[in-house]
A and B are shown apart, each in its own frame.
Chain A
Amino acid sequence: MVPAKRESLITQMRRGTLEYCVLALLRDQPRYGFDLVRTLGAADGLVTSEGTIYPLLGRLRRDGLVTTTWHESPSGPPRRYYELTAEGRRALALFTTEWDRFTGAVDRLLRQGGSS
């Protein structure tokens, strides 16, 4: 496949899923920005420039899915932690259900070509 095409394909897929990956990372504990971004960055192909996560976090906060609180840091200045709201939890649960159904259907089609 042409590299440019591959790039745009990944961009398209990342587009709709990245925000739920962020919500998923916050499910079990609040995280501060750098920690969140580095963890996301470790997942292959999810983040190309780390800084683009911050506009996304701003959007999630505006939509009431995430809030921020300040916590002391063991070293250096206090840190801004991002945590899920109840609404964020609901959005993540809904996405998880739909995602399972969606990927299941796509997987079946990709493997069998819909021949059965």
Chain B
Amino acid sequence: MTTEVDALILRYLQDLEGQLQDLPAGRRRELLDEVGEHITAARADLDPETEAGVRSLLERLGDPADIAAEARDRLGVQARPVRPSTPWLEIATIVLLVIPFLGWVLGAVLVWLSRLWTTRDKLVGTVGGLAWVLGGLGTVMAGRPGSPVGQPGVDVATTGPNPLEVILAVAPFVLPLAAAIYLGLRLRGQAGAPATTR
């Protein structure tokens, strides 16, 4: 009989200890001691001690999850699911987007694995990472023989580079950088808020 009651109480205290994991160790110990003392005093008050009596005293004490929620609230500890973890995947994606060629390609793929960025953010990352494809295609098209249909007599070489060609040549390097900065800013905006999906 006594052992059964002891097991009930032990299970209750273990459950409470589990629920209090994110409290500082000192606070957790103190709270467990106080609840333990409460149970000891409440048991001494039961005359005679019955299993039903002990069950009811634990019930009056309340659900360990409620006590833990109150402890987090009163003692200023943030609930665990809300605490943001370091977004390693997102950081790796941003770093890759700054590394030419292989980094760009990997970044454009990795960005889709993130759960912090929205679809629009991911599209921006992809465009940035794959800008060299567009740039390459554009350069090929612009450089195709016959395309400079300038006025007769004007030597193409002396007019300097075509502005479109400059843009096409620079874009593959600038766009990934811009995308990386944009994604970084979006990530900072997300950091405080809990992720929409757990």
Contact = CB atoms under 8 A, between A and B. Distances in A.
Interface in A48-74: 48-52, 54-59, 62
Name the residue in A49, A55, A58, A59 with the highest tally of chain B Cβ atoms < 10 Å from its Cβ. A55
A95 interface: no
Contacts, number: 72
Interface string B35-69: 10110111011000000000000001111101100
B62 A33 contact: no
Contact of A50 (B27, B44, B62): B62
A50 B38 contact: yes
A49 B60 contact: yes
A26 interface: no
A77 interface: yes
Contacts of A34: 37-38, 41-42, 45
A89 interface: no
SS of A interface (majority): helix
Contact of A54 (B35, B40, B42, B45): B35
Contacts of A20: none
A57 B34 contact: yes
B144 interface: no
Contacts of B74: 55-56, 58-59
Contacts of B70: 52, 55-56
Contacts of A54: 31, 34-35, 38, 67, 71
**Is the contact region of chain B dominated by helix, strand, or loop, or is it mixed?**
helix
A33 B60 contact: no
Given A33-B34, A50-B38, A55 B60 contact: no
Contacts of A48: 62
A64 B190 CA distance: 37
A54 B38 CA distance: 10
A32 B33 CA distance: 13
A51 B38 contact: yes
B92 interface: no
